[in-house]
Amino acid sequence: MFERRHEPLAPKSLFVVRLARSIGLGLGMVAACLGLGVMGYHFIEKLPWLDALLNASMILSGMGPVN
């Protein structure tokens, strides 16, 4: 997937594409986890949407639950 030590570096355009793909994958994973947490807090714990977002964000960041 990436260059080996003895191969020349990838062109800048390929590097930018790889970087964008990695950032997109990371943001997508965080968004999916946050969305799942928000829905769980809203539908299971019956919290309002904003409180569910706050709790899911705090759990995802490692701070702990608010409510």
Q: Which two tokens stand for residue 38?
A: 């928000």
Q: How far apart, in whole angstroms, are the C-alpha atoms of residue 67 and residue 55?
A: 7
Structure-token match 């809203």, residue found: 42
* Regions in the chain scoring below 70 on pLDDT: none
Q: Which two tokens stand for residue 58?
A: 């705090």
Tell me the three state secondary structure of residue 33. Answer: helix
50-59 pLDDT per residue, tens: 999 999 999 9
Cβ atoms within 10 Å of 33's Cβ, excluding its own: 13
Tell me the three state secondary structure of residue 15. Answer: helix
- What is residue 1's predicted lDDT score, i.e. its pLDDT? 75
- What is residue 29's predicted lDDT score, i.e. its pLDDT? 97
pTM for the predicted model, two decimal places: 0.79
* Alpha carbon distance, N-terminus to C-terminus of the chain: 45
